[in-house]
Structure 1
Amino acid sequence: MKKVVFFAFQGEEMCFMHILFNAIDMHKKGIETKIVIEGKATALIKIMIEKENKLFKEVVELDLIDSVCKACSNQMGVLDFIKDNTNLPLNGDLLGHPPMAPYVQDGYEIITL
C-alpha cells in the first residue's frame, strides 16, 4: 500500500488548504495518509478552528493529523491554544520538532508544502 505524509510548513492559508483536500482525497482513495503540522503552519490551527473550517474539521475527524510541532507551536504563540482546545498530538522528538526519519523508515513518501 502507498503511504504519504504531508509536512505542512507554510503559514499561507491557501497552501494549507491544498494539503487538507489532497490528504482527504488520498485517504478516500486508499492511500495511507498523514499530516504533520510544522513551522508557521502551526498558527493556522487556531485560525481553522475559529473559522470552523470544514476541511480542517474533516481531517481531524478522519484522524489524519499525525502530529503538530511542539517547538513551532510555542514559537508561533499557539501552543497553549492547541493544548487547551484540541486533542492533536504534539511532537518534539527532534530538538523540539517532529522528525522525518521514522516516516522514511516506515516507507512513507514525504511531501512538504
Structure 2
Amino acid sequence: MNKIAFFAFKEEPMCFIHVLLNALDAAEKGLEVKVVLEGASTKLIPELFSEKSVLYNLFQKCLEKNLIAGVCKACAQKMGTLEVAKEKGLEILEDMYGHAGMANFIKKGYTIITL
C-alpha cells in the first residue's frame, strides 16, 4: 500500500484546504494518509474547530477517518495554539527536538509531501 504524509506548513486557509482535500481524496483511493500540522499552519487550529470556518467540515472528515497524525509542539507553542490543540485531543508531536519529525514517517514507508 502506498503511504503519504502531508506536512502542512502554511497558514493560508486556501492552501490548507488543499491539504485536507488531497488527504481525503488519497484515502478514498486506497492510500494510507496522515496529515501533520507544522510551522505556521498550527495557527489555524482554532479555525479548524470553528463551525463557521470553511475548513471545519473537511477537517472533521479527516478526523473521523483518522487522517490527522498530529501537531508540532514547538510550532503550536510559538503560534499560541498548543493549549487548544491539547484541549481538542490532537496528538502533540515532538520527536525531533520538540518539533514533528519526518524521519519516523519515512521509516514507516511514508512519502513526505510538504505544502
TM-score normalised by the chain length of structure 1: 0.95
Distance in 2, Cα, partners of 1:81 & 1:35: 18
Corresponding residue of 1:32: 32
Alignment of 1:28-107 (within 5 A): 28-50=28-50, 51=52, 53-84=56-87, 86-107=88-109
Distance in 2, Cα, partners of 1:89 & 1:48: 15
Distance in 2, Cα, partners of 1:105 & 1:25: 24
2:2 paired with 1:2: yes
SS in 2 for 1:11: coil
* 4+ residue runs over 4 A deviation: none
Q: What's the offset of the Cα at 1:18?
A: 0.0
Percent identical across equivalent pairs?
46
Question: 1:62-107 CA distances to partner (integer Å, 9 max, x unpaired)?
Answer: 11011110110000001111112x1110011111111111111111
Q: Flag structure 1 segments of 5+ consecutive residues without an equivalent.
A: none
TM-score normalised by the chain length of structure 2: 0.93
Letter in 2 for 1:13: P
Q: Superposition RMSD on alpha carbons, in Å?
A: 0.9
Distance in 2, Cα, partners of 1:98 & 1:35: 11
SS in 2 for 1:80: helix
Q: Flag structure 2 segments of 5+ consecutive residues without an equivalent.
A: none
Q: What's the offset of the Cα at 1:48?
A: 1.7
Count of residue correspondences? 112
